[in-house]
Chain A
Amino acid sequence: MRRPLYLIQEAFVNIRINRTSVMIGIITTAFTISCFGLFALLYGNLKNLAGTLQQDIEVLVYVQPEASDKIVEGIRQRLEGEKAVNVLSFVSKAEALKEFHQQFPDESTLLQGMEENPLPASFVVQISPQFQESDSIEAFAERIKQFPGVEQVRYSQDWIDTLALLVSYFEFGAIVIGLILAVATITIIANTVRLSFYLRKEEIEILRLIGATGSFIATPYVIEGALLGACGGALALVLLKGVFEFFLLEINASGWFSGLESVLIFFPFQTSLFLVLSGMLLGCGSSIISVFGLMRVRNEAT
């Protein structure tokens, strides 16, 4: 019980002795983690946005003009049997015409010359959430096309694909940037901890003299690194939250993207925790790297 307490105390002594570089270390770590966090925030929101947009995706199933009521009913029954269909509604030829007139009052004359209503009846399908992947929508559409009496199936394929591609680019980018910044963070913390170690070289010699093991000597420095990383992560979180709130205020004030602020999300609790913990782990790792080679007991005592 006394040993762990002693080791933690020593970690705080390290921080006190080396406070300037520890402060600098925390701030630089916070900035690097913020960079990654900013990217992750962007990614998370993009993905969220993509999700919301995909929810609105409708597949329009146009019925052949000459199709009889029986065939239309057949299509309805088959559609209702599809798992991918969440909400199904039918727009008859007459309703389609009415909608057309409502939406485009100026062009009403366009259809007047025609004897028969040229607009097809259609089914409007809202896709169930678990089938909102671009691939499954495509497969669904292909299947519907084969139904007797179906003229055409339409949905906004390009938009979904572009968004999915963008999200996957972001995913890749996040991994690359994350790795680069992780290396940067490790370097920063490793140097800070190494400096603490050198500042207490005499004391470490004494510890070796009286039979301290390498891990006993190293532990306070590993704790120091972990604390530094965790503080950096926490500070990064505060910075990001600040930037995020500021951004929201700006959006509200400008009024340009009204409605966007309700869609934007900050990190959920787990992700925030993950950010702080990963800072801590990076800190641990880098201090282990930095003091590992300095723990030799031979040829250095006395």
Chain B
Amino acid sequence: MIQLFHVSKFFERCTALHDVTVRIEKGECVLLTGPSGAGKTTLLKLIFGAEIPDEGQILVQNRNIARLREADIPYLRRTMGFVLQNFKLLPKKTVFDNVALPLIIQGVSRADSKRKVGEALKAVGMNHKHTSQTGVMSAGEQQRVCIARAIVNNPIILLADEPTGNLDTVLTSEIVELFKTIHARGTTVLLATHNQSVVEEMNGRVLHLQAGRMVSDKGPAA
């Protein structure tokens, strides 16, 4: 599903990733941990095609990301969902419109997208609020909408970068539960966090990064 071979990424002043090799199978739940600046976000960006590796190769669904033409990147992204710490929703639009956006981009018909958005909102428990504007919603609600938008396409891979970074412990647990449900449905989940309780609750494979190097790779506790 996702394979990295000796991947390195350098910025002007630092090495964000150094010789990382890892293989993630379909349907796995992988947690990316490590201190701030360890290279978690960089790793996700590489998989997402937002950055190009300086060394090594990255295969996502057997496509070499580094060699992908710029014009093909949007189509790669349509097979993935992305959830971020700072939501990135359109504040003036309704919950429904926000979640429907990936479908509009792909030219899905109105009836189909209505059904798909309905399903995604139900999955995150936001079905009742589909006409509210996202700008006025609470952080937990906004993050749920983001997750709905990320899964509305039935992505093969769900990437999340600090999805609980702006949430309190109760909301964090709720969001973690959501990710577990999504994973249980067969989606490959790759979640970056430095929140230890998230790591424990998710109970997945843990990749630990430190200063750009992969220092440990532990399977889930039995």
Q: Which of B115-132 contact A (CB under 8 A)?
A: none
Chain B residue at minimal CB-CB distance from A200: B90
Residues of A within 8 Å of B48, CB to CB, are 301-302
Stretch of B13-21, B56-64, B69-77, B137-145 contacting A (4+ beta carbons < 8 Å): B69-77
Instruction: Say yes or no: A299-B90 contact (C-beta < 8 A), given A3-B104, A210-B77.
Output: no
Residues of A within 8 Å of B49, CB to CB, are 297-298
Q: Which of A162-213 contact B (CB under 8 A)?
A: 202-203, 205-213
Interchain CA distance A207-B89 in the complex, whole Å: 10
* Secondary structure dominating the interface of B: helix
Residues of B within 8 Å of A6, CB to CB, are 104
- Please tell me which one of the listed residues B51, B76, B89, B104 contacts residue A2 in the complex, with CB atoms under 8 A apart: B104
Interchain CA distance A193-B90 in the complex, whole Å: 20
Interface bin, chain B: 20 to 34
Interchain CA distance A1-B75 in the complex, whole Å: 20
Residues of B within 8 Å of A298, CB to CB, are 49-52, 70, 73
Residues of A within 8 Å of B70, CB to CB, are 214, 296-298
Cβ B101 vs Cβ A210 within 8 A: yes
In the complex, whether B27 has a CB less than 8 A from a CB of chain A is no
Interchain CA distance A299-B50 in the complex, whole Å: 5
Interchain CA distance A201-B105 in the complex, whole Å: 17
Interchain CA distance A268-B48 in the complex, whole Å: 56
- Please tell me which one of the listed residues B75, B77, B110, B113 contacts residue A209 in the complex, with CB atoms under 8 A apart: B77
Chain A residue at minimal CB-CB distance from B110: A2
In the complex, whether A140 has a CB less than 8 A from a CB of chain B is no
Q: Which of A246-302 contact B (CB under 8 A)?
A: 296-302
Q: State the Cβ distance, A151 to closest chain B Cβ, in Å.
A: 80
In the complex, whether A216 has a CB less than 8 A from a CB of chain B is yes
Instruction: Say yes or no: A207-B82 contact (C-beta < 8 A), given A297-B70, A302-B41.
Output: no
A1, A206, A210, A216 pick with most chain B CB within 10 angstroms: A210
Interchain CA distance A3-B102 in the complex, whole Å: 11
Cβ B50 vs Cβ A210 within 8 A: no
Q: State the Cβ distance, A89 to closest chain B Cβ, in Å.
A: 74
Q: List the 9 closest pairs (A to B, CB-CB), nearest first.
A: A211-B77, A211-B78, A301-B50, A210-B102, A211-B74, A213-B74, A212-B105, A297-B73, A3-B107
Binding site for A on B (CB under 8 A): 41, 44-45, 48-52, 70-71, 73-78, 82, 84, 88-90, 101-102, 104-110, 113, 149, 161
- Cross-chain pairs A/B with CB under 8 angstroms, 25 sampled: A2-B104, A2-B107, A2-B108, A2-B110, A2-B113, A6-B104, A202-B88, A203-B90, A208-B77, A209-B82, A210-B102, A211-B75, A213-B71, A213-B74, A214-B71, A297-B49, A298-B52, A298-B70, A298-B73, A301-B45, A301-B50, A302-B41, A302-B48, A302-B82, A302-B161
Given contacts A2-B113, A297-B73, A302-B84, 20 further A-B contacts (CB under 8 A): A2-B107, A6-B104, A202-B88, A203-B90, A207-B101, A208-B77, A209-B88, A210-B77, A211-B102, A212-B74, A212-B105, A214-B71, A297-B49, A298-B50, A298-B70, A299-B50, A299-B51, A301-B45, A301-B48, A302-B161
